[in-house]
């Protein structure tokens, strides 16, 4: 659980650090650069000969979905939504985790579902704002949910493969495979949408991209999946929304921005209850 908390805190801090820095740059190209930097972090640890070709392909497919497609959908949503609307719609990831797990088990685990709903309620109390129904809102909502589903599927599939045949292999030697898959899928998407001759970040933007790729994506996604192996599905579902109160708290305490304190406290309390519920369910 500590891995998930540390990653959530880094992501929360990142919201304030990168705000507005990459505006105007092609979103799919940003995904390519981000996954490229992430891959560079893990290439020194890559041991392609240690696993079977079939397992390597499965890992690459997991990365293509969890990081590649997730990021393509997520960034595309900004064409239709304001940043706060994207943030609001990301809070449904716990429900997708619960739904996918229920489908795999062929039953609906009550504790997992209740914890996921509490996590959504807590995040909604903190982040919800009035939305005006439009065609753009619906399109953006569907894109964010596509992103949420991809991230949820990837987390659960990585847990499954790591707890199975690859249980004794180190995560550091495996993780390059995931970023290879992610890079391939973002490159394919960029071939359709990106005008690379017009993609010209300045020095400060390259520094932000290096941070996003190496730290917020590379090391943090690694830490997230490492934590996902070690907790129950219910705890994993809840922690997908912990970044929401942490982001608001960081904006308030670190960056000096304003925040609705009562909503932060109420939403945070609901998320703490969700963690308690998750922690007192059977490990799954």
Cβ count within 10 A of residue 42:
21
Report the C-alpha gap between 244 and 137 in whole angstroms: 21
82: tokens are: 């304001």
Taking CA atoms, 190 is separated from 19, 63, 200, 222, 239, in Å, by 23, 17, 15, 24, 31
DSSP 206-218: HHHHHHIIIIIII
Packing angle between helix 110-127 and helix 261-279, nearest 10 degrees?
A: 170
Report the C-alpha gap between 155 and 228 in whole angstroms: 7
Question: Has residue 42 been placed in a domain?
Answer: yes
Q: Which residue has the tokens 């595309």?
A: 76
Cβ count within 10 A of residue 49:
7
Phi/psi for 158 (5° steps) reads -65, -40
pLDDT for res 107: 92
Question: Has residue 101 been placed in a domain?
Answer: yes
Question: Has residue 182 been placed in a domain?
Answer: yes
pLDDT for res 278: 92
Question: Has residue 242 been placed in a domain?
Answer: yes
pLDDT for res 213: 93
Predicted TM-score (pTM) above 0.85? yes
Number of domains in the chain: 1
Question: Has residue 43 been placed in a domain?
Answer: yes
- Contact residues for 13 (Cβ-Cβ < 8 A; gap 6+): 250, 254
Question: Has residue 284 been placed in a domain?
Answer: no
Question: Has residue 52 been placed in a domain?
Answer: yes
Report the C-alpha gap between 96 and 77 in whole angstroms: 18
Q: What are all long-range contacts of 223-226, with beta carbons under 8 Å and residues at least 24 apart? A: 223/3, 223/4, 223/6, 223/7, 224/3, 224/4, 224/7, 224/155, 225/155, 225/158, 225/159, 225/162, 225/171, 225/175, 225/178, 226/3, 226/171
pLDDT for res 280: 81
pLDDT for res 281: 67
- Rounded to the nearest angstrom, the gap between the alpha carbon of residue 256 and the centroid of all alpha carbons in its chain is 26
Q: What angle do CA 67, 236, 104 make, to 5 degrees?
A: 80
Task: Compute mean pLDDT per 10 residues along the chain, 284 residues long, and list them.
Answer: 91 71 85 95 91 93 96 88 84 95 91 94 88 84 96 95 82 94 95 90 93 94 94 94 88 74 92 92 56
First to last CA, the chain: 14
- Domain of 142, in residue numbers: 2-19+26-279
Q: Which residue has the tokens 């982040």?
A: 127
Question: Has residue 57 been placed in a domain?
Answer: yes
pLDDT for res 249: 84
């Amino acid at each position: 659980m500590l891995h998930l908390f540390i990653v959530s805190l880094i992501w929360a801090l990142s919201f304030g650090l990168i705000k507005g820095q990459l505006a105007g740059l092609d979103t799919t190209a940003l995904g390519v650069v981000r996954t490229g930097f992430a891959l560079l972090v893990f290439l020194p640890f890559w041991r392609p000969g240690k696993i079977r070709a079939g397992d390597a392909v499965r890992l690459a497919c997991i990365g293509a979905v969890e990081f590649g497609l997730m990021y393509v959908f997520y960034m595309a949503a900004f064409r239709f939504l304001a940043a706060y609307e994207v943030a609001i719609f990301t809070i449904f990831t716990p429900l997708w985790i619960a739904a996918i797990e229920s489908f795999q088990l062929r039953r609906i685990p009550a504790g997992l579902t209740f914890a996921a709903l509490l996590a959504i309620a807590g995040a909604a109390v903190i982040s919800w704002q009035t939305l005006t129904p439009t065609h753009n809102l619906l399109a953006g909502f569907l894109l964010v949910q596509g992103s949420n589903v991809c991230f949820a599927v990837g987390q659960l599939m990585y847990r499954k493969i790591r707890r199975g045949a690859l249980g004794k292999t180190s995560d550091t030697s495996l993780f390059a495979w995931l970023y290879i898959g992610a890079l391939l899928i973002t490159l394919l998407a960029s071939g359709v949408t990106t005008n690379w001759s017009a993609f010209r970040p300045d020095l400060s933007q390259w520094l932000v991209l290096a941070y996003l790729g190496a730290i917020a994506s590379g090391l943090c996604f690694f830490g997230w999946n490492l934590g996902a192996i070690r907790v129950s599905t219910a705890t994993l579902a809840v922690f997908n929304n912990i970044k929401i109160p942490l982001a608001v708290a960081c904006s308030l305490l670190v960056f000096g921005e304003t925040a609705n304190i009562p909503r932060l406290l109420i939403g945070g309390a609901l998320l703490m209850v969700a963690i308690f519920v998750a922690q007192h369910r059977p490990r799954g």
